[in-house]
Structure 1
Amino acid sequence: MNAVGAPPQPFDADTNPLTADQRLYRVHNNTRTVGEFNPGFGSRTRFAFFGRPAVPVLYAADTEEAALAESLLHDIPVGGGILPYAAYANKVMGKIEVTRNLKLANLRGLGLRRLGVEARHVTDTEADEYPRTVLWAEVAHAAGLDGLAWTSRKCNDTRAVVLFGDRCSNALRQDSSFGRIFQSGPGLDWLIETCGPLHVDVLPPAPR
């Protein structure tokens, strides 16, 4: 077990910028818009939730595949498995455009070394460490940063980010040129085709 240590104080993090006009992909519930932050619903995640009231967060990634890996495929073993219809029926993928420059704590590459840790101590941990990894988000927020950036654990050639809603809610807008509805049609076709080589069987809806 790789114990997660407390974040350093002061939190002298290197920054990984998100620049205006950059696009990010997000898988989210179809009851939310693509740029809507989670105000604190659901179970704890790697970097949420913290604060009273809870600081809203939004997870996204640089590519469609990483957004999928960090959401619908997050809990499926690397050897493969089944993605049931109920897991994706109410999920969609959208694209977000960043409208102003944002500063994220850099938890990638030498950014980790600067903070005296390795990925296995913060960004590459199991879910039982989330009560400790969330402290890193809380400290980054207290340091005035807009979120955190790290190498996706589930798609480790791509950046994943978490953004803080009280800092970034006015810095995002929907890119209406892109969208996937996984329930049926081309979105479901893409999901099946993408998951097939990963040994993940996407179960279709039951026939009526």
Structure 2
Amino acid sequence: MVNFEPGDPFDPLTYSLQPGTHLYRVYSNQRTSPVEFNPGVGSPTRFAFFGIPLVSVLYAAETEQAAICETILHDVPPGSGYVMFDDIKNKVCAQITPSRVLKLASLMGDGLRKLGTEAKHVTGTMSSEYQRTVKWAQAAHTAGFDGLVWMSNRRNTDRAYVFFGDKVIDGDLDIVPVHGNIYAAGPGFERIVDYLSSVDVEILMA
């Protein structure tokens, strides 16, 4: 029988994210830092928000392209399409890296099999399922994990991550200063245009 919710006890495979691993985060320029966690602002997401008080989270990805897919293209169906310039004008991309080993619950590959579930029931659902999928994050948090790892639903060649803000604390994530893109203009805008055009997605200015 396939599990749609985490079992009790929650006993996943562990993925150890090593210090120095470069990750990418696409986020709003309203945040003060690439390593600032979301304290619970905005709509629910696949693995947030849960807890009382709410557990803050930070999403990241293995590549810049995956980070774009998990944010800017999150609600754009596969195939040719478009995004509005307003959806990208305040977005920036930064590179971050853990300063210690982060213990993550695996929701990919053998990790899914061990938990008796499938990606389509956890990491590949529609937003209408978030009230259920967030329970996997809550179970991992309760079990002492620093976060979760899975294969990006929108770019399934790359890993995606979520970290819990009361587990991954100040100093556990560092900013990589050599990488950064502002998507509103200049080289950053050219970069995202090139990537989106490669997957048949246009940017509409108005």
Q: TM-score, normalised by structure 2?
A: 0.96
SS of the residue corresponding to residue 141 of structure 2 reads helix
Q: Deviations over 1:89-140 (max 9, x none)?
A: 1110000011000100001101111011111111111111100000000010
> Residue type matched to 2:132 in 1?
R
Q: Which residue number corresponds to residue 68 of structure 1?
A: 68
Shift in Å at residue 4 of structure 1?
6.9
Say if 2:42 is the partner of 1:42.
yes
Q: C-alpha distance in 2, partners of 1:111/1:145? A: 14
* Greater than 4 Å deviation, 4+ residue runs: none
Q: C-alpha distance in 1, partners of 2:203/2:173? A: 31
Q: C-alpha distance in 2, partners of 1:4/1:38? A: 29
SS of the residue corresponding to residue 163 of structure 1 reads strand
> Residue type matched to 2:42 in 1?
G
Q: Which residue number corresponds to residue 28 of structure 2?
A: 29
The runs of 5 or more residues in structure 1 that have no matched partner are none
> Residue type matched to 1:91 in 2?
K
> Residue type matched to 2:76 in 1?
I
Q: C-alpha distance in 2, partners of 1:22/1:77? A: 30
Shift in Å at residue 23 of structure 1?
1.2
The percent of aligned pairs where both chains have the same amino acid is: 48
Shift in Å at residue 5 of structure 1?
1.8
The runs of 5 or more residues in structure 2 that have no matched partner are none
Q: C-alpha distance in 1, partners of 2:197/2:71? A: 17
Query: Aligned pair count?
Result: 203
SS of the residue corresponding to residue 167 of structure 1 reads coil
Q: Do the aligned residues in 1 keep the contact of 2:81 with 2:200 (CA within 8 Å)?
A: yes
Shift in Å at residue 80 of structure 1?
2.1
